[in-house]
Structure 1
């Protein structure tokens, strides 16, 4: 028992970039200006953090829709994102309630699991405060840069661009108030070579001089694509580890084709959407299977490309289970303690019973000694009484 006691212990901002399939968690502070869905550019000498980035992507085999919401913090009044998308995109505001529904549907199931012997946190193996530890989210033809369209959506000033020269794209952004870090020009070249387009969004707080902070309005992008892909290449410019989460709505369960330089992707939820009303039911119509995927990128510089998504081998459902371990008790008393004390008591009682019985055991009686017969009564064979010997 003594050994057991010792054993226990994120003027407006150019923002966005959404792409196809995503949900992401990440922490970014200047000069970290890359995020999971594209490149983020804070103002001069400012710090900005993406505390949470969530995206849900719907792919029906021909079109992709991406709804993204950012939660930001820091002291930046101007922030910028730019994101490549594989086709001509339309942009509108999304429904914030979509994410609340996704959280509810994909939340882990909590179950109680009982254990018999005490673990760390149970008496008498209490360490620290005695609490158990918790076992974590996209015509100017011939011109080097073309402006497809520009629109105002709530706090967002959205520009949709084409480019045939990464340097010209860099110059357009710079002349429009979005100076990009030098490394970004080279990072955009693969997308320029593939003739992708770009979504750029300016964003600013309602009050002049106030930093951007809190959850921003969601943006909803729609574009055509033959294969679902989540742009991750620009995330290799991040200075801090990246945490990616993807909500994917498709006809079947989906999975990344490769880790692209991060840890092994893990499915955190898989199942058919059963909601009949609400934003999730509306978005999932025709693509009823929801897959939630998480992945960590501890070394962003190792990211080698974009996430290509494919159909999983089977539409097996999956939901995380979080077990709450509890010590089994009987009337508030640990069952193990009752067992041990009861066993000891039984052993003591048994030993005492044997001891008492031993002390009361009767001694064996010694048979009496018969006295020898008188000499005159000794029988001699062959001699009858009264005859002389």
Structure 2
């Protein structure tokens, strides 16, 4: 039986890397967007960036970026280039900060009771056509399953049955990718050992007139790029390119005030932004900048689970209504019969 810890690790990994199923037409997972333009390996060695998460905060003209990269390398010596608008002070961050954000941004479960909907009594077609499993490979402690889906409901059912409890924000995006004929890769951590090549976060602190995230060098990437940004500020944030429009494929997966939580030292409000670039050369228009949204509405802080209320497969609402109707009819018949006898 899968332990709760292992299951939770698999869910987190799937949610981060299956970002709205941002996997291109070929059954290959995209590289993480590397704001540094990619790591610089020594000649003859190979380096791949497998994950990029960044905590971004800005106070009194000083910006701090905590960058977490999972790097797998055939050589222990690899370079990293990270541009900043002014000289940066570089130090090590803490992985616990990312774990704390993970705890704070876990959505709250809200149950809604359904007394009226019939479930599980038909031919099963409401579940949708299940996705086709194209390939399953074991990459060390990671199991990667490549899927071709023609039905959104069927895909969601498959993911739920295999313990991929994606956030509601990600689930809402599945339909668009299914409609466009995209493929999906579901990744699960199946081993107990940590991933090889994991790095402690690198912390860059530098002066800047505005909150920015250097991304322009990633235009040189030849693979689709994904990026998750944890942006702390006084208000909810929106993202755009410096001097240009907003990224074509981006969404806010979580947004809420964090005052009183374990991550409030970074800022009063946290916005989690997810970005995907299928064609980095044409879609990445420069570095990223951020601005306050019109409202501080929250997003992704809870998810709703519909709980059916039924007896022997029959919704209790209909049963109660039926009993009431039968009671009324019975009462009318009795009254009518009594009246007839008296007359």
TM-score of the two chains, using structure 1 as the length reference: 0.52
Q: 1:125 to 1:94 in 2, by over 3 A?
A: farther
Bigger shift: 290-299 or 89-98?
A: 290-299
RMSD after superposition: 4.4
Q: Of 243, 265, 272, which aligns to 1:292?
A: 272
Whole-Å separation in 2 of the counterparts to 1:35 and 1:59: 21
Q: How does 1:109-120 map to 2 (within 5 A)?
A: 109-118=108-117
Kindly provide the CA deviation profile for residues 208-256 of structure 1, in whole angstroms up to 9, marking residues without a partner as x: xxxx825321111111111111122222333333332221222333222
5+ long unaligned stretches in structure 2: 1-15, 131-153, 171-194
Q: How does 1:230-269 map to 2 (within 5 A)?
A: 230-257=213-240, 260-266=246-252, 268-269=254-255
Whole-Å separation in 2 of the counterparts to 1:33 and 1:292: 19
Q: Which residue number in structure 2 is paired with residue 57 of structure 1?
A: 56
Bigger shift: 338-347 or 226-235?
A: 338-347
Kindly provide the CA deviation profile for residues 161-203 of structure 1, in whole angstroms up to 9, marking residues without a partner as x: xxxxxxxxxxxxxxxxxxxxxxxxxxxxxxxxxxxxxxxxxxx
SS in structure 1 of the partner of residue 294 of structure 2: coil
Q: 1:80 to 1:340 in 2, by over 3 A?
A: farther
Alpha-carbon shift at residue 113 of structure 1 (Å)? 1.8
SS in structure 2 of the partner of residue 123 of structure 1: coil
Whole-Å separation in 1 of the counterparts to 2:122 and 2:36: 48
Bigger shift: 336-345 or 226-235?
A: 336-345
Q: Which residue number in structure 1 is paired with residue 181 of structure 2?
A: none
Q: 1:215 to 1:337 in 2, by over 3 A?
A: farther
SS in structure 2 of the partner of residue 85 of structure 1: coil
2:336 aligned with 1:338: no
Do 1:61 and 1:227's aligned partners in 2 also have CA atoms closer than 8 Å? no
Q: Which residue number in structure 2 is paired with residue 326 of structure 1?
A: 307
Q: Which residue number in structure 2 is paired with residue 307 of structure 1?
A: 288
Kindly provide the CA deviation profile for residues 248-293 of structure 1, in whole angstroms up to 9, marking residues without a partner as x: 2223332224554422442521213313xx6x34x42xx4332222
Q: Which residue number in structure 2 is paired with residue 92 of structure 1?
A: 91
Alpha-carbon shift at residue 320 of structure 1 (Å)? 2.8
Q: 1:61 to 1:76 in 2, by over 3 A?
A: same
Whole-Å separation in 2 of the counterparts to 1:297 and 1:234: 13
Whole-Å separation in 2 of the counterparts to 1:117 and 1:242: 44
Q: Which residue number in structure 1 is paired with residue 107 of structure 2?
A: 108
Whole-Å separation in 2 of the counterparts to 1:115 and 1:45: 58
Q: Greater CA radius of gyration, 1 or 2?
A: 1
Do 2:230 and 2:273's aligned partners in 1 also have CA atoms closer than 8 Å? yes
Whole-Å separation in 2 of the counterparts to 1:55 and 1:265: 16
Q: How does 1:1-389 map to 2 (within 5 A)?
A: 35-41=33-39, 44=44, 46=46, 48-50=48-50, 52-73=51-72, 76-77=74-75, 79-118=78-117, 122-125=119-122, 127=124, 132=157, 133=160, 135=168, 213=196, 215-257=198-240, 260-266=246-252, 268-275=254-261, 280-281=263-264, 283-284=265-266, 287-300=267-280, 301-329=282-310, 334-336=315-317, 338-339=319-320, 342=323
Do 1:241 and 1:297's aligned partners in 2 also have CA atoms closer than 8 Å? yes
Whole-Å separation in 2 of the counterparts to 1:351 and 1:296: 66
Whole-Å separation in 1 of the counterparts to 2:100 and 2:45: 38
Do 1:54 and 1:69's aligned partners in 2 also have CA atoms closer than 8 Å? yes
Do 1:260 and 1:305's aligned partners in 2 also have CA atoms closer than 8 Å? no
Alpha-carbon shift at residue 37 of structure 1 (Å)? 2.0
Do 1:269 and 1:292's aligned partners in 2 also have CA atoms closer than 8 Å? yes
Higher relative contact order (CA 8 A, sep 6+): 2
